[in-house]
């Protein structure tokens, strides 16, 4: 018998909503962060490293490590583990430092 924490406390959350990741529709639940919604959809990486292009996703889950940086609604360098998912959010894979067009 599989029960979720929501079942155990008899929670009645609002209905799920949709966000997109690189154009793909992803279902999110009220209260989830962007990272949690992506993980629940089986998406484990949404950033590549500046040097080497290695995939990154959530590491610490509490906003300390910056591995989970993503571009959310066109704004780069958002920590996906801290950003609440909102209906209609558009998340895109962030390459490197997220500001490739700038001379930094």
Residue 67 counted as domain residue: yes
Report yes or no on 8 lying in a domain: no
- From CA 83, how far away is CA 76, in angstroms rounded? 12
Count: domains in the chain: 1
- Cβ within 8 Å of residue 71, ≥6 positions away: 77, 78, 91, 92, 93, 94, 98
Distance CA 103, CA 94 (A): 17
Residue 65: which CATH number?
3.10.20.440
Instruction: Give the per-residue pLDDT at 59.
Output: 84
Q: What is the pLDDT of residues 30-56, one digit of tens each?
A: 999 999 999 999 999 888 888 888 888
pLDDT at 70 over 50: yes
DSSP 8-state assignment for residue 94: E
91/61: higher pLDDT: 91
pLDDT over 60 at 85, yes or no: yes
Task: Note the pLDDT of residue 83.
Answer: 97
Domain assignment present for residue 4? The answer is no
Is residue 103 included in any domain, yes or no? no
Any domain includes 6:
no
Distance CA 28, CA 37 (A): 5
State the Cα–Cα distance between residues 92 and 9, nearest whole angstrom. 34
Residue 74 forms part of a structural domain: yes
**pLDDT confidence band for 99 (50 / 70 / 90):** low
91 lies in a domain? yes
In terms of residue numbers, what domain contains 89?
14-95
Tell me what pLDDT residue 55 has: 84
Residue 1 in any domain: the answer is no
Confidence band of 84 (pLDDT split at 50, 70, 90):
very high
Q: How far is CA 78 from the centre of its chain?
A: 9
- DSSP state, residue 61: S
């Amino acid at each position: 018998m599989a029960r979720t924490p929501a079942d155990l406390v008899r929670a009645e959350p609002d209905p799920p909503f949709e966000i997109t990741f690189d154009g793909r529709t992803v279902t999110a639940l009220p209260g989830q962060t962007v990272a949690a919604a992506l993980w629940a959809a089986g998406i484990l990486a949404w950033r590549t490293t500046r040097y080497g292009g290695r995939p990154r996703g959530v590491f610490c889950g509490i906003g300390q490590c910056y591995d989970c940086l993503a571009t959310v609604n066109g704004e780069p360098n958002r920590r996906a583990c801290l950003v609440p998912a909102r209906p209609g959010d558009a998340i895109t894979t962030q390459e490197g430092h997220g500001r490739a067009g700038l001379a930094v």
